[in-house]
Amino acid sequence: MAVAQNIRCSHCGAPVEFKPGELVATCKYCGFTTVIETGAPFKFEHSLLLNKYNLAQADELIKRWMRSGFMKPSDLARKSKVLEKNLVYLPFWVVSVEAKTSYKGVFERISPPIVKDGKIQKAYNWLVLAREAAGFPTREYDVPLHGKIPYDFRKIEGFAKVLNSEIDREEALELTKQQIEAHHRYLLKQDVDKIIEIYTEINVEHAVYLHAPVWFVKYEYKGKTYQLILDGAAGISLKGDIPSSKF
Ligand SMILES: [Zn+2]
């Protein structure tokens, strides 16, 4: 069990709650963000994506998801029951980068094998989830970045939960590098079967700390529990367990 600790918000003086492992905390009374270790104000851009659905509208989204798609049991919307529906503002680092990978490898699908070299050059808004969130599909989440506004605590619903970051900017940049390199290694598999040399150069242009609204839903259908994750900004499902239907 994680125990919440307190520091004082240096902006409004209210207690700011945080849990062990969290590095950056946002005051729920004034929206001021503090680096926990030093107590100093957070000095990077902090953004927010707005949730567009109230509780009733979220129910509608859930029903719509249940009714759509031929993979689902036809009585899913009628026979299921929503057990839990939580709006959580998840913390992310969005790192804008130019990534260039040079490689040399062996293409073995022809005989004799040949040595090939090449480059992968791409620009990304790379998303790093700033904490552990059970089963959150970060790579499938296409953050609607055009909708971001400066963080505004007044826009956060009273029933919503705002999670703090467990990693700082430096760690986020490091993870971005590692993940992009791994991603490029994966892309390379189309081109070469064995990598001889690989070098990835990453130029960070910008990094934003972002809170994005995500609905975590638990529902019950025929005695079993399933999870559904919805994007509160775009209203689409990010991941949903579908009960197997018998034809
Ligand atoms: Zn405050």
Are 13 and 100 in the same domain?
no
Per-residue pLDDT of the chain (247 residues; tens, 9 = 90+): 455 677 888 899 999 888 888 999 999 899 999 898 888 889 899 999 999 999 999 999 999 999 998 889 999 999 999 999 999 999 999 999 999 999 999 999 999 999 999 999 999 999 999 987 767 898 888 888 889 999 999 999 999 999 999 999 999 999 999 999 999 999 999 899 999 999 999 999 999 999 999 999 999 999 999 999 999 999 999 999 999 876 5
Cα gap 76→73, rounded to integer Å? 5
Q: Is residue 16, in this structure, part of any structural domain at all?
A: yes
Q: Is residue 247, in this structure, part of any structural domain at all?
A: no
pTM over 0.75: yes
Cα gap 38→24, rounded to integer Å? 10
For residue 16, the enclosing domain spans 1-43
How many angstroms does the Cα of residue 39 sit away from the middle of ligand 1?
12
User: Tokens in use for 51?
Assistant: 């949730």
How many angstroms does the Cα of residue 66 sit away from the middle of ligand 1?
40
User: Tokens in use for 1?
Assistant: 């069990």
Q: Classify residue 179 by its DSSP letter.
A: H
Q: How many residues does the chain have?
A: 247
Are 7 and 99 in the same domain?
no
How many angstroms does the Cα of residue 14 sit away from the middle of ligand 1?
5
Are 155 and 51 in the same domain?
yes
Q: How many CB atoms lie within 10 A of CB 20?
A: 9
CA 89 to chain centre: 10
Are 76 and 53 in the same domain?
yes
* Residues in Cβ contact with 156 at an 8 Å cutoff, skipping those fewer than 6 apart: 28, 48, 89, 162
